[in-house]
Amino acid sequence: MKTFAEIERDFIRARVEPAFDWVRHDRPSPVNPMRRPIREATVALVVTAGAHLAAEQPPFARRREGDASFRELPGDVELSRLALSHAGYDTARAAADVNVVFPLDRLRELAARGRIGGVAPRQYSFMGYCLEADLLRDNAREVARRLTADQVDLALLVPA
């Protein structure tokens, strides 16, 4: 019996890219310990929802090979200003409650209750559909640089 990963791989191979395979890593990433307690931590979201500011940013491209770009979103953005453009899932259903794929309101609630120190001034969205992981490398490094500049203690990676 095939695993879910094998089924997904075969689906992509049959419909998009015959040579597709998952990137494998021989060992886990090194652990980065928290430098301060979570109650004092600045927290950011990095999502793969395809979220963008509807009136101000271009939607993510719906190309065969995907879209490796990202969108920077203000930490105080009203979620009603967002749109979702993603080639890999039904964005209409997620748009009914954007917090399902971009849980910024939940993060704000945690900050208001003192469970985290605060919400970072900038949040980030990728489309999450990109067949060539190498294309993401430069953009992921740029987002990491910006998170560091904002003194983010914890980035929550939220898949769509």
* pLDDT tens, position by position, 107-146: 999 999 999 999 999 999 998 777 767 778 889 999 999 9
Per-residue pLDDT of 74-118, as tens digits, reads: 999 999 999 999 877 788 888 889 999 999 999 999 999 999 999
DSSP the chain: ---HHHHHHHHHHHHT-TT------SSPPPP---SS-GGG-EEEEEE-S-EEETTTSPPPP--TTB---EEEEETT--GGGEEE--SSS-HHHHHTTGGGTS-HHHHHHHHHTTSSSEE-SEEEEE---BS-GGGHHHHHHHHHHHHHHTT-SEEEEE--
Q: Which of 11-20, 43-52, 74-83, 119-128 has the least mean pLDDT?
A: 11-20
Domain boundaries along the sequence of the chain: 36-158
